[in-house]
Amino acid sequence: MEETMGRNKIDGYTRTRKRAHRWSNLHIVVVLSLFVCLLIGYKHFSLLRDGYIPLSTVLEKQSFQKISDGQYKKKIGDLSYSLLIDIDKNSVTKAGYHFDIRNNIQHFLWMDYLSADKIEEIFNVQVSLNGIFVDVQNIEFSQHQWTEKFPNLIAHAGGTYREKSYNTFYTNSLEALQQNYSMGHRVFEMDFYLTSDGKMAAVHDWNQFGYMNGLALSSDEWKNFQTFGSPVTDSRFTTMLIGDVLDQMLINKDMFLVTDTKSFEVSEQEVIHQFTEIYNEAMKRSPELLSRIIPQIYNQTMYTTLKKVYDFSNVIYTLYVSPDSPEQVIEFVANNPSIKVVTIPLNHGGYFNSEFFNNLHALDKKIYTHTIHTYDELTKYSAFGIDGFYTGLLLPSDMERFKSLN
């Protein structure tokens, strides 16, 4: 009996040791797990503190649907576009617009973090932290903010399309938009003419483009036409109607459109038709687009006509066919706060002088000129008091470099 009791004691002691060992192991596992969680949390919050945002959070908040690894899509109304994220090549491609992320990405465990400024550039959002949570809001612009937020360059005719063999001007094409936006431009001047069926085509004119006979193509013909530029080369480009341009502005919520409708060549009724078409196409997509459409007017009468269609918050008065004297221009723009920019042709005898420039600046107006392509021209005309430029070849990085020297 004593032997049995001894064995029971030993067995009890052994069970107790095993239970203690199990509890000890569990304790170690719990402590290690907490330590790992703390390390992960510390690294995560350190990245947030340093301005890096989980890419997955932004994609979710911006309603991107994952198709496969690195491939996403998004729908805005009837518009659908793709997003390709190539971590190996440090690049993001949004609907044909390219972004280099090599200096803006951090990796931690299975997650990719992008710097907040690159998130804002790609997705056109404002990112903020609310404690441990990331808040993402679509970017918004106040009146005339486009003249302050971006380098004072307007990409002429959608910007020049660059190839190894040549530079092609006046394409007003999708490819020009995509290339120049990817190189930093955000404000685009584009030419528009009515098609034979009354739609607005992005084309410089029907004499040098289309069938080059002065006759307007129909909207269907233009959409199926592979356009060219100046000089004419073997390259062909994707044509657009105003709706296609507005679709690109839906994708890129920091893209602004300056219209060149050559409205001085047509009747008041046709001007109304032109801008009614622009207005209707914008309203089909989003009323917000109207705040990023900047009509150019060519005379005071057109301003009155424009307001019959819509009271655009941003308007440019371009003077290359204006009948106004400098004094009349000053009086007119002083009384119309929607006009922030006055555009003057290079070396125009009546307007290109310091007195006129000083009077415009005294009204807090900005002076732009067209069209320049070289850094030499940028420095030369900036010294005259010009604030901004329409350009085919200069890039925002050129303007930023120039301003950093002053």
Residues 118 and 161 in one domain: no
127-153: per-residue pLDDT in tens? 988 777 788 899 999 999 999 999 999
* 168 within some domain: yes
- For 89-109, the pLDDT digits (tens) are 999 999 999 999 999 998 887
Residue 237 lies in a domain: yes
Residue 7 falls within a domain, yes or no? no
In this structure, is the dihedral angle defined by the CA atoms of residues 78, 187, 185 and 57, taken in order, positive or negative? negative
- Judgement on whether residues 249 and 276 belong to the same structural domain of the protein: yes
61: containing domain: 52-138
Angle between helix axes 174-182 and 242-251 (nearest 10 degrees) is 30
pLDDT band at 49 (very low <50, low <70, confident <90, very high): confident
Q: Are 238 and 201 in contact (CB under 8 A)?
A: no
Q: From residue 8, give the alpha-carbon distance in Å to each of 14, 43, 387.
A: 10, 52, 97
Confidence of residue 6 (pLDDT cuts 50, 70, 90): low
Residues 134 and 150 in one domain: no
- Measured CA to CA, the distance from residue 314 to residue 292 in angstroms comes to 8
Tell which wins on pLDDT, 2 or 74: 74
Query: Is residue 16 a part of any domain in this protein?
Result: no
Q: What is the pLDDT of residue 348?
A: 85
For residues 339 and 330, give the distance between their C-alpha atoms in angstroms, rounded to a whole number: 11
Q: Does residue 37 have a pLDDT over 60?
A: no
134/224 same-domain check: no
Final residue before a domain boundary, out of 138, 173, 200: 138
Instruction: Give the rounded percent of residues in the chain with a pLDDT score beyond 90.
Output: 77
For residue 31, tell me if it sits in a domain. Answer: no
Q: What is the pLDDT of residue 39?
A: 54
Give how many domains the chain has, as a whole number: 2
- Span 344-369, average pLDDT: 94
Domain boundary among 138, 158, 174: 138
d(CA 85, CA 397): 25
334 located within any domain: yes
